[in-house]
Structure 1
């Protein structure tokens, strides 16, 4: 390159430095005015000075730039320590600029050589930065090293055969623990695919909402697997070969007013004697038929039979259908010959699709218990969150617990309706047949971000776990996990039941994970905490017409993240990191439980949740938990409503057909804008890790180990296998063999972990997103199988699919 081209290169570098300097100085001045860091302004000014000097072909420009780069290194280490993923966006752009300035084409017009004068100074500073980089790669300041206790304190009280899986969490206790032990830390690396089945059910059909997802955890009964698909098919497979045995299509109504289209699983009742089944009430049956004109009747046009054992399939049009596990035929001796329960019976604000049971019903002691989801943040005129108990043999209504009228549990009169817009149970229920209790995780009354009009009953039961009498539905106790919830902190996870050994005594416990990161450990007989719970002061100052609770409960076992500061802001470069710091300063943020506001509030953890419906896995023998905490901040901004019809937050106008206009909150004073806390180029504004695996001792509340988990391979424009630690949606499973499995991370992998240390031992690439909870069982060939459902998640954008995959050790 001749001298003219060298000069042109130097001046281009000067222009580039000037542009970066202007951006940093301008944004840095704004940040400083907002009370943030002074560093960006100072660095911007240094870059502008360096740019002017270089344009003038003065070597002092290299010295000034070297001073700015050295300051960046010192500031970065002071803010982040040796944390590569925090250092990279701070130093990446300045180091690249420094390397470009050390090229001969930049040095020659300045009369400089690499190992002399200002060029030597800049070279030494760049070298220091390059040395710091590999050192930071060797460290993981976010890891917590330790070991869970290996002693088996108690024996798992087996209620089903070890190789079976009879409920969503294997049993009504919801532990997601299998007593199988063929797969161990020593041999898990040898796992290989045994078979793969394709359901043929993929998202993208007319009428599908964005959140059309394959979230099922199959049941295993005998040598058969039973699963449901997003579009409500029920399929039976040979558990050893994966061959289809039968499939049933309930022919649901379409179109529907759906926010979610999914099926997390089926309920199951073993063989029973139907001789003393109560007869259905004819008036109630007629009311159920009339609730939704045109609602299909399961026994019409389908193969039918009289059933001993039964599968229960909740459908998106608001039914629960009883099926024969042997043939897939509809149970004609259920629902007075209809083969189904109509959940729209006695329901206010009938709107098919707006209410249904996305999670499997609970079954115990001859009672089928059904909850349901309602639309989030659409209106104040939604359906009831009533919990209902039915006779498993006849389908007759036994009781109804309505949080709007919690004392009135006798079956509602045929002409009456339940309380509209009451807190609902969209997640999975747990049952203790011995105590005769069903445990219900409750959500919030919509709208989530405004509570000024909530009744005393709503205030008592929102975002709480309640224990109900299985036979009568009466309330036994309630424990609230959030007071006056304004953050969509529904209780999202199935309560996990386990008998803990505390001070030498066996105590029946309930372990409840929450979106805000608390894991409450309660006596499941009374709801009293077994691990200490304290009330801590919460930020105040709600929007006009609302209020905030003075305190919020915090458990001794907590994954509550530290409060975000400017130091935790992130990006690909200094520039978008600066934009995130400005955004943080412009939002209202006073830590966890910052109330929603008109200016916009930062919600951390966001409503994605530290824990969601996937829950945790608990080993009842070691009395430890395998958990998967995730951390993503969200931004919520209240938008005042002038009327009950105008669209305020639907950027693309009204959704097609009956699909709901989410977050409009028709009838409330405010609509709400909800979005992840992202940089201008779409990266999370908070630095990674965003997802972990962690092990906790349930007797002490100690978190023994915690490691970031998952890569950005399927989240970045190019497949980069960087292990930043990504969120998950879909829970883990543990085995007596000492291995835990999880497939729900937002990269397409299933992984196996050592329960004792948390070390990853195995992974296998999935053909689609695995946002479901795996399960494990024993095949007819005597082998232990790991089963993973990979179908992707619509609103998360993971790879769609229709795959059911079984893994096993080589024969």
Structure 2
């Protein structure tokens, strides 16, 4: 009976090889017809030939498979070099099948019935040795690749050499704005934690908000993205469901909590709060009447209000807004539809102004609320000016009975401010819908996907710089502009550093928008959609993390079959590099609208004149779907939910096309392009040179089996840097907060988080004299990271 089973092994194995061969050869013909790699057709024939020889119980099957293994290895080295993950995807199936062919059940049946003594005397047949040698070569090359990192840039950042004056009113141990100050550097002058002791960090306290996604009306993107403020000895933060909390900064004890009673049943795309605005008290001001509030916290809500709270007890500052401590951001809005306009990012706060923008739905329709930017009196809440990019020259407060321009480009991210220059710097989004631009407002189009400098006093445009012309890719400016003084040509220049989704970091003179690092216009592909036009050129900075265009050799998967499927998928899409316009055929968008950089932005060390960045690389696809009417759901399907998520997202009512969007992934849901997908990097802001760049993060929390492979994963949530020579990041898609040596990029410490850390951390000084690192771990709905409600403070052990 055992002998019978052994004799059937080649037959069964042969059938498997034949099926694999037919599938691979057939797909290989398809790929060749699309202009792709030639390898898969002969490989499929090779698999089939091995199957036929196994069916005949011929020892030549081992010779044939040895040739297949060796040929695949040679082709893999030619395409991928000594890069382990691409090598693994190409060689895994031939290697595993080769091991099976060397098992006794197959080999004995192929050698025929000879007595054991004769088999021993004869030794292994040459075919068996040849196959073993081919498999050994795969192992040897794999071992060589394990000791190399083809994607690593080694180097060193300079030592600190420039002065870094602190903005007035922000003590070194505090954090008064989203980016610590209105300049948005995410730089702390604290140096108690440094490279010599960071490995000793431990949890000092943990606070649970009790606010976790999962309520009936929650959209998919219900996320805990807040960066708390630290003022005096208190921390101030907001939660996804719009509560504001004050904690003791040293112990984590809750001091007060206020629920802002947001309207229920909103059809929101996002439900989050990234932070609060803060205005410090005026030391020269007279005693305050009840409700005046010497200091103020400002919170924009998901139902379209701007609320002013007293940091002392969370009560309303009733002088603001005429008695109730809030202003209605729906005032003057066209197309009022609760949930279609709201602000997820903190406002800019100066001594006299509160400046707020808001998000407008990307792809629901062509007629949405306005993307107007408004400045309110920080004391009374009176509207001081409004800048509507669809009507940019009229900034006087909108009179009763009039409305702002519908669907004008909006600013959903965080703005920055230079009070000395009297300018607020606004990162602008795109006019909806994102992938169809033939009917956009010409005035708004000028400011779409641009950084715009507005006069603090009047709201008028002082200058603007467009990072994408006629944006058709959702490449809106996602991140807060960072303001830093740079030493260039022997003089100090006030600069603005603007990261973008497409990977550019533009370095501009913040006085007039003039590029300080060279910017060139490069040719871009034309649109093939009737009536649409794509810009003939696009701007590229001398400081760029834009990845090379994808090729067939860059495709990847868990096996050679998934890689083959991705190669076919790539060839079926329109792709002529970055800025390939959307199409009916389907377009590959790389980098995708997840962005090389997103709202987390970058951190800048003003003393070293460098930027610490977290570039991410994920490809997406977009496919235009012709619309015949303005009621049918073409991309959402018949069962689109009516609450919690937007039923019309990507339908583009009013446009001739809906759009189907998604990540470019294999049948297993794994990115089709090879890893790494995420890095940490440092670059010199005065030269544009990338100083070092390392893959970052593991797939421990992304794979079905928690294997900590360091493949390099994206992060969502920004970094910070400190005078201690460290950078901190918690936003990677594995659940860790990490510390890096800012000079070399080496990871020095990591702490395991109980949930996804998709927020920007911060650091401060406690009443006990210790420096604390604060991390929010709440997860991210659309990324699928673990939900949580954790606020975690780390510190060095008490002496």
Query: Is the shorter-chain TM-score for this pair beyond 0.5, marking a shared fold?
Result: yes
8 Å contact kept, 1:747–1:769: yes
Q: What is the CA-CA distance between 1:659 and the residue it aligns to?
A: 3.9
Q: Paired residue for 2:198, among 177, 188, 195? A: 188
Tell me, yes or no, if structure 1 residue 342 matches structure 2 residue 342: no
> Which ranges in structure 2 are unaligned for 5 or more consecutive residues?
113-118
2:794 is equivalent to residue 802 of structure 1? no
> Residues 457-472 of structure 1 correspond to what in structure 2 (within 5 A)?
457-472=443-458
Does the 8 Å contact 2:523/2:538 carry over to 1? Answer: yes
Task: Indicate how the Cα distance of structure 1 residues 274 and 162 shifts in structure 2: closer, same or farther if over 3 A, else same.
Answer: closer
Q: Which residue of 1 aligns with 2:752?
A: 765
Judge conservation of contact 2:244–2:259 (CA < 8 Å) in 1.
Answer: yes
Taking the aligned partners of 1:20 and 1:647, their CA distance within structure 2 comes to 40
Distance of 1:791 and 1:542 partners within structure 2 = 43
Q: How far apart, CA to CA, are the structure 2 residues paired with 1:783 and 1:352? A: 45
What is the Cα deviation at residue 80 of structure 1?
Answer: 0.5
Name the SS of the counterpart of 2:497 in structure 1: strand
2: CA distance, partners of 1:632 / 1:651:
26
Match of 1:115 in 2: 124
**1:771 Cα offset (Å):** 0.3
1:96-245 aligned at under 5 Å gives the runs: 96-111=96-111, 115-159=124-168, 160-245=170-255
The answer (yes or no) to whether the contact 2:602–2:611 under 8 Å persists in 1 is yes
Structure 2 residue matching 1:308: 3-state secondary structure: coil
1:329 aligns with 2:315: yes
Report the Cα distance in structure 1 between the residues aligned to 2:642 and 2:701, rounded to whole angstroms: 30
Q: Secondary structure, in 3 states, of the residue corresponding to 1:153?
A: coil
Counterpart of 1:280 in structure 2 is: none
Q: CA offset at residue 543 of structure 1?
A: 1.6
Contact 1:626–1:695, Cα closer than 8 Å, also in 2: yes
Question: SS in structure 1 opposite 2:139?
Answer: helix
Q: CA RMSD in A?
A: 1.4
Does residue 668 of the first structure (1) align with residue 668 of the second (2)? no
> Aligned to 2:94, what secondary structure does the other structure show?
helix
Contact 2:167 2:181 in 1 (8 A): no
Match of 1:25 in 2: 25
For residues 23 and 761 of structure 2, what CA distance do their matches in structure 1 show? 48
- The answer on whether the counterparts of 1:425 and 1:443 sit within 8 Å (CA) in structure 2 is yes
- Taking the aligned partners of 1:54 and 1:658, their CA distance within structure 2 comes to 57
SS at 2:331's partner residue?
Answer: coil
* Alignment TM-score, normalising by the size of structure 1: 0.96
CA distance in 1, matches of 2:576, 2:772: 48
Once the two structures are superposed, the pairs formed by residues 643-682 of structure 1 within 5 Å of their partners are 643-651=629-637, 653-657=639-643, 659-660=645-646, 661-682=648-669
Helix, strand or coil at the partner of 1:509: strand
> Secondary structure of 1:305's partner?
coil
CA-CA distance at 1:273 after TM superposition:
8.3
Residue 351 of structure 2 contacts residue 378 of structure 2 at CA under 8 Å; is this kept in 1? no
Distance of 2:385 and 2:258 partners within structure 1: 29
Deviates more, 1:691-700 or 1:107-116: 107-116
- The one-character-per-residue Cα deviations of 1:47-74 (angstroms, maximum 9, x if unpaired) are 1111101110111111011101100000
C-alpha separation between the residues in 2 aligned to 1:648 and 1:559? 36
Secondary structure of the equivalent of 2:23?
helix
CA distance in 2, matches of 1:671, 1:581: 26
1:720 corresponding residue in structure 2? 707
Cα distance in 2 for partners of 1:365, 1:321 equals 17
- 1:412 is the counterpart of 2:367: no
Q: Pick one of 531, 536, 553 that aligns with 1:567.
A: 553
Q: Is the 1:156–1:621 Cα contact (8 Å) retained in structure 2?
A: no
Instruction: String of CA shifts for 1:240-262, please: whole Å, max 9, x gaps.
Output: 00000000011011111211000
Verify: 1:594 aligned to 2:555, yes or no.
no
CA distance in 1, matches of 2:69, 2:2: 29
Matched, 1:734 2:721: yes
Please give the secondary structure, in 1, of the residue aligned with 2:385: strand
Task: Please report how far the alpha carbon of residue 658 of structure 1 lies from its aligned counterpart in structure 2 after TM superposition.
Answer: 7.1
* TM-aligned CA deviation for residue 2 of structure 1: 3.2
Question: Deviations 1:657-707 (Å, cap 9, x if unpaired)?
Answer: 374221001111110000000101111100000000000010000000000
2:507 aligned with 1:521: yes
- Tell me the distance in 1 between the aligned counterparts of 2:327 and 2:56: 83
Asked if structure 2 preserves the Cα contact closer than 8 Å seen for 1:273 and 1:308, the reply is no
Per-residue deviation, 1:652? 5.5
Is the CA contact (8 Å cut-off) linking 1:10 and 1:109 kept in structure 2? yes
1:314 matched residue in structure 2 = 300
Deviations 1:404-462 (A, max 9, x none): 11110110111110001000000000000100100000000110000000122122100
Matched, 1:512 2:522: no
Which moves more between the two structures, 126-135 or 658-667?
A: 658-667
Question: 1:615 & 1:641 partners in 2: Cα distance?
Answer: 36
Q: Which moved more, 1:687-696 or 1:645-654?
A: 645-654
| Corresponding residue for residue 692 of structure 2 | 705
For 1:8, the equivalent position in structure 2 comes to 8
Superimposed CA distance per residue, residues 269-288 of structure 1 (whole angstroms, 9 cap, x where no aligned partner)? 111489899xxxxxxxxxxx
Deviations 1:380-420 (A, max 9, x none): 11100000011100000000000011110110111110001
TM-score for the superposition, normalised by structure 2: 0.97
Q: Which residue of 2 aligns with 1:538?
A: 524
**Aligned pairs for 1:359-374 within 5 A:** 359-374=345-360
Corresponding residue SS for 2:405: coil
Within the candidate set 377, 386, 393, 2:372 is matched to 386
1:784 aligns with 2:771: yes
Distance in 2, matches of 1:550 and 1:158, equals 42
Distance 1:76 1:357 in 2: 49
Does structure 1 residue 61 correspond to structure 2 residue 61? yes
Moved over 4 A (4+): 273-277
Q: How far is 1:541 from its partner?
A: 2.3
**2:190–2:724 Cα contact (<8 Å) kept:** yes
In 1, Cα distance between equivalents of 2:161 and 2:767: 28
Question: Is structure 2 residue 273 aligned with structure 1 residue 263?
Answer: yes
